[in-house]
Amino acid sequence: MQFPIDDVHVGIFNRTLKFGCGDYSGEVPLANNCSFMTLGANTPADVKEVLKSGWGRMPDSMWNDFVRANAATATVQDLFKMSWKHRILGPGVGEDKEWDSPNFVFFFSTVGFDASRTSAMVFVLLFSYTDNVHTAGDYFRLHLNKKDEWEIDGRVRLFEKKPDRKN
């Protein structure tokens, strides 16, 4: 992924997203008091249909594991390998002036696996605070290749918010 700025600061939220609506007391970001994971699709069942339509195939075992895993939030560990400056952000994380205004913040769901653990899916929410990069929510399907490395094998954009234009 390329960004239109040189000194990128990427925040990674320290809690995973989860399905559902209601008061999560600042635990995860919400849209209209509901999870971003269903924005535009309304329910997890609707999301499943959108994904099956976009990907053409999706093992029931992977979807069932994904729903189960995303019934609650989990702690995100910094196991990310990237060329951008990044930091775990969120409740309970110490403050650092350099990170008061990151260019982007990523939020992740918990990963769901198929029965053989060779296919997986994850929802990624990107909050963008930079021109020319839109806030968006995407579901990614991954598979384990012959080198035992995860590769992206499909993407479905659930929503995209283009920046407001001021005249």
Dump pLDDT digits (tens) for 82-107. 777 888 888 777 777 767 778 888 99
Q: Which residues contact 134 (CB under 8 A, 6 or more apart)?
A: 128, 160, 161, 162, 163
Whole-structure pTM value: 0.87
Compute the distance between CA of residue 37 and CA of residue 112 in angstroms, rounded to an integer: 14
Query: Could you tell me the CA-to-CA distances from 45 to 19, 39, 63, 71, 146 in Å, in that order?
Result: 11, 12, 10, 14, 32
- The mean of the pLDDT values for the chain is 84
pLDDT tens digit sequence for 11-44: 888 989 988 877 655 567 777 777 888 887 778 8
Query: Could you tell me the CA-to-CA distances from 50 to 17, 122, 163 in Å, in that order?
Result: 19, 14, 25
Amino acid 34: pLDDT: 78
